Structures are given as C-alpha cells and as structure tokens.
C-alpha cells in the first residue's frame, strides 16, 4: 500500500509540474505567436548586421534561464512551420489628428515627405551610435548614478518603459517627448494589443491618443512579475537576448524645453495640480492659487521656465518623488548601460531612422511610421530659452543631464555654459 501511495503521489506531483510548465509555456509562447522574423533576432547569421553581436554568450546563462531559453527556442521551431498571416500593405491614412490651434502651435505637425539616407549610411550611423554608447558605459572614469548596477539590481518599477511585442520579437523603451506617442501606436499595431470593434488596429493614426498612453494597453517588463512570478527576470533576460531592442533619444535641453511647453504652456489639469501649483508657491511666492488650470491661465498665473529649472535643481524635489517621466533622464528610463540596445534612433533624424528601423524589422509592409511632429522646439532656440537663466543654474542643469548628453553623442552646449 505504501508503495502504491508513493506512486500515486509521484504521479500527482509530476502532473502538477507539467500543468505549471504548460501554463508558463502557453502564456509566454502560445498566445504570443513568436514571429521572430526581424533582422536582429538571434541567432544571427555571421556578419548579418554590422555592429550587432552574435549570441555566443548564451552558454553563460544560469540553468533556469537555459531551460526557459530552450523552451522558448523549441516554440520558435514549431512556429517556423506555421504560415504567417497574410501581410497587407497599409496605406497611411490621409486623415490628420484633430488638434486645437494652440496645440498645433506648441507641438507642430510635419506632414511633408522627407528623403531618407541610404541603408549604408544608416548602418554606419548605427554602428557609431552603439560604439559610443558602449565605450562610455565601459569607461570607468565616466560616472553617473546607477551606472555600475546590473540588470538584476534594477527595481521592477523602473522597468515600466520597456514595451514588449512578442509577435515580432521587439522591445521598445519609450522616452516621453521623443515621438513616443507614435512609436507606442506602432507597437500597438504590431502587437495587436488593442482592438477596435473586435478587430486589431491596422493604421497607427486611427488609435486614439487616450488609449495610446493607457498603461493597460501595453505589455511592459514591470508587469512580468504578476504574470510569471519568480520566472520573470529569467524571461526578461531571454527576451533581451533574443529580441530587437530600440529607443529614440533627443538633445536633453531641447527635450526639457519641449516638456515645459507641452505641460505648462497648454492647459493640463493634472500637471497644474501636481507640479504647477507647488512651483508657483515655492519659486514665485504665490498664495491662494486657483484650483483649476483654466482659472489660473485666465488670471495670467503660469509657471515660468525659470520656475521649472529651479524645480529641477531643487534637492527637495526628488526627496518627495522621482522626476516625472517627461523630464526624467533617459539613462534612468531605459538603462542603456544595463541593456544592449540594437538600434538607437534620434528625434533629429526621426524620419530617416524610423523608415530604416521598420525596414530592418521587416514590418515596413505592415505599416508606416506616422507623420512626425515638426521640430518646433529646435536646438537653435536654446539660447533664447536659457537667456534669463543664471549661468550657475545652467551649469548645474548640464551636470544633472550630462550622462544623456555624453552617452548619446550630443555635444556639450558650451555657449550656454560660459559667460
């Protein structure tokens, strides 16, 4: 009897283990379709993409990672025999987003066409951007907060900007004020994470803005713990190894100006209550402020750019809470020294970079990148915006964002940092 009971117990335990294994497998693989047909998806053929390292370091993965990697790899082999959905060339919609004149004035849309660089130039550009990033990450004499920590040391809540598309094997780290609205739209179309009357969106411009920035729309790394529990970090590492990882960046000071304009020059109830009221009280000595942004704007009570800079430099600011994502440094949003990005795009070359990236991802027949905002907040405006900012503040501000300047190859704005 004892042997029979032990046998039954063994069968039950093995069954439970297999059920859990199937759940993990299906949740991560079966529903994701795993169409990894991107140019960067590992394993790469030798010399396929210059500047992208091969996966010779897979052997260094821990046992659990190795097990999961084999599990995921087996699914890739199975899916390779499954025909892909018929690709449809999606013609970019002619309808333009409906925006107010004020928003058009502040944001600016560019509906013109642009001539892109050729592929060879783009490839060389990517090699140089990645080389510079890796060199400074490896340079021990160049330091900034969090540089030396490992990926495992990054808190889960700091991984909320890494959007995952399992259908095409893509990870996008979004940076606010760097065309992230449209890149999120692209990720929604590719991942089919949002439906319109039961049908996935096909045209990025059809997706309403309020849905684009709804966190429930996207699968991000910080959600993995709830889904995969103790396997979450293992799965993140595997996806980081196998998927194409990209981000887009922008001149740090220009990004700050853009953030100020869109959040404090336009009526924004949330930003008025959370940020403008404290700034006006602390740095402009205002009291008894209106409770609504419309009343404040009507009374001429607006945050000045000087108020905003003081807020960023005030040591008390981050003792209360981390910087809002719209002005948080890119190295804190995307962890470029912990994550080896395959593609680094820049807003200054957005049209060329976007077209080249979609081509490399082999999704350029599925969609086109939406018309970009015209760069109304141009780098040439920096002198005007910072003209009334004291030199000492400008120098402190540069130190605060120096890592973003250096890592992504933006020149030091010497004209703003000297008398």
The reply to whether 3 falls in a domain is no
The C-alpha atoms of residue 99 and residue 109 are separated, in whole angstroms, by 10
pLDDT band for position 372 (cuts 50, 70, 90): low
Within a domain: 131: yes
Does position 253 have pLDDT exceeding 50, yes or no? yes
Would residue 304 count as lying in a domain? no
Q: Range with the lowest mean pLDDT among 71-80, 89-98, 208-217? A: 89-98
pTM tops 0.85:
no
Confidence (pLDDT) at 115: 46
Distance CA 7, CA 11 (A): 6
pLDDT (mean) for 152-176:
97
In a domain, 316, yes or no: no
Tokens 């039954």 belong to residue: 8
281 found inside a domain: no
Domain holding 365, by residue range, is 119-251+329-378
**Are 347 and 375 contacting, i.e. CB atoms less than 8 angstroms apart?**
yes
Write the pLDDT tens digit of every residue in 171-198.
Answer: 999 999 999 999 999 999 999 999 999 9
Q: How much is the pLDDT for 382?
A: 87
Question: How far apart are alpha carbons 360 and 353 in whole angstroms?
Answer: 10
- How many Å apart are CA 126 and CA 120, to the nearest integer? 10
CA 134 – CA 149 distance, rounded (Å)? 15
148 found inside a domain: yes
Q: What is the largest CA-CA distance in the chain?
A: 91
Q: Give yes or no for residue 416 having a pLDDT over 60.
A: yes
Tokens representing residue 111 in the block: 């509906």
At residue 143, does pLDDT exceed 50? yes
The per-residue pLDDT of the chain, averaged, comes to 81
**Confidence bin at 79 (pLDDT 50/70/90):** very low
Please tell me the distance from the alpha carbon of residue 112 to that of residue 341, in angstroms, as a whole number. Answer: 30
Q: Tell me, yes or no, whether 224 lies in a domain.
A: yes
> Mind spelling out the 3-state secondary structure of the chain?
CHHHHHHHHHHHHHHHHHHHHHHHHHHHHHCCCCCCCCCCCCCCCCCCCCCCCCCHHHHHCCHHHHHHHHHHHHHHHHHHCCCCCCCCCCCCCCCCCCCCHHHHHHCCCCCCCCCCCCHHHHHHHHHHHHHHHHHHHHCCCCCCCCCCCCHHHCCHHHHCCEEEECCCCEEEECCCCCCHHHHHHHHHHHHCCCEECCEECCCHHHCCHHHHCCHHHCCEHHHHHHHHHHHHHHHHHHHHHHCEEEEEECCHHHHHHHHHHHHHHCCCHHHHHHHHHHHHHHHCCCCCCCCCHHHHHHCCCCCCHHHHHHHHHCCCHHHHCCCCCCCCCHHHHHCCCCCCCCEEEEHHHHHHHHHHHHHHCCCCCCCCCCCCCCCCCCHHHHHHHCCCCCHHHHHHHHHHHHHHHHHCCCCCCHHHHCC
Asked if the structure places residue 190 within a domain, the reply is: yes
Give the pLDDT confidence score for residue 13 in this predicted structure: 72
292-343, pLDDT tens digit by residue?
999 999 999 999 999 999 999 999 999 999 999 999 999 999 999 999 999 9
Rounded to whole angstroms, the Cα distance separating 269 from 338 reads 36
Task: Indicate the number of domains in the chain.
Answer: 1
């Amino acid at each position: 009897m004892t042997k029979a009971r032990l046998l039954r117990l063994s069968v039950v335990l093995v069954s439970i283990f297999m059920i859990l294994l199937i759940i993990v497998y299906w949740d991560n693989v079966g529903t994701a379709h795993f169409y990894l047909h991107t140019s960067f998806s590992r394993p790469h053929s030798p010399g396929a993409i210059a500047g992208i390292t091969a996966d010779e370091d897979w052997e260094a993965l821990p046992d659990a990672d190795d097990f999961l990697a084999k599990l995921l790899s087996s699914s890739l082999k199975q899916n390779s025999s499954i025909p892909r959905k018929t690709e449809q060339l999606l013609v970019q919609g002619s309808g333009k987003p409906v925006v107010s004149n004020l928003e058009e004035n502040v944001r600016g849309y560019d509906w013109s066409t642009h001539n892109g660089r050729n592929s060879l130039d783009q490839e060389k550009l990517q090699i140089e951007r990645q080389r510079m990033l890796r060199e400074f990450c490896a340079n021990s004499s160049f330091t900034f907060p969090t540089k030396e920590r490992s990926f495992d040391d990054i808190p889960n809540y700091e991984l909320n900007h890494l959007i995952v598309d399992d259908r095409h094997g893509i990870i996008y780290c979004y940076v606010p004020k760097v065309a992230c609205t449209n890149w999120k739209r692209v990720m929604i179309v590719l991942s089919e994470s949002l439906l319109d009357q039961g049908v996935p969106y096909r045209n990025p411009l059809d997706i309403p803005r309020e849905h684009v920035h709804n966190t429930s729309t996207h699968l991000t790394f910080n959600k993995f713990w709830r889904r995969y529990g103790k396997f979450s970090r293992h799965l993140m590492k595997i996806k980081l190894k196998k998927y194409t990882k990209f981000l887009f960046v922008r001149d740090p000071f220009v990004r700050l100006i853009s953030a100020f304009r869109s959040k404090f020059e336009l009526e924004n109830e949330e930003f008025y209550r959370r940020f403008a009221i404290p700034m006006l009280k602390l740095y402009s000595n205002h009291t008894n402020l209106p409770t609504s942004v419309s009343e404040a704007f009507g009374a001429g009570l607006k945050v000045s750019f000087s108020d905003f800079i003081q807020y960023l430099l005030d040591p008390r600011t981050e003792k209360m809470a981390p910087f809002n994502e719209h002005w948080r440094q890119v190295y804190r949003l995307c962890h470029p020294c912990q994550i080896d990005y395959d593609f680094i795009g820049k807003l200054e070359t957005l049209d060329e970079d976007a077209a080249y990236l979609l081509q490399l991802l082999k999704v350029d027949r599925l969609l086109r990148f939406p018309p970009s905002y015209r760069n109304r907040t141009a780098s040439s405006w920096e002198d005007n915006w910072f003209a009334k900012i004291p030199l000492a503040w400008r120098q402190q501000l540069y130190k605060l964002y120096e890592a973003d300047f250096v890592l992504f190859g933006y020149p030091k704005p010497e004209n703003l940092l000297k008398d």
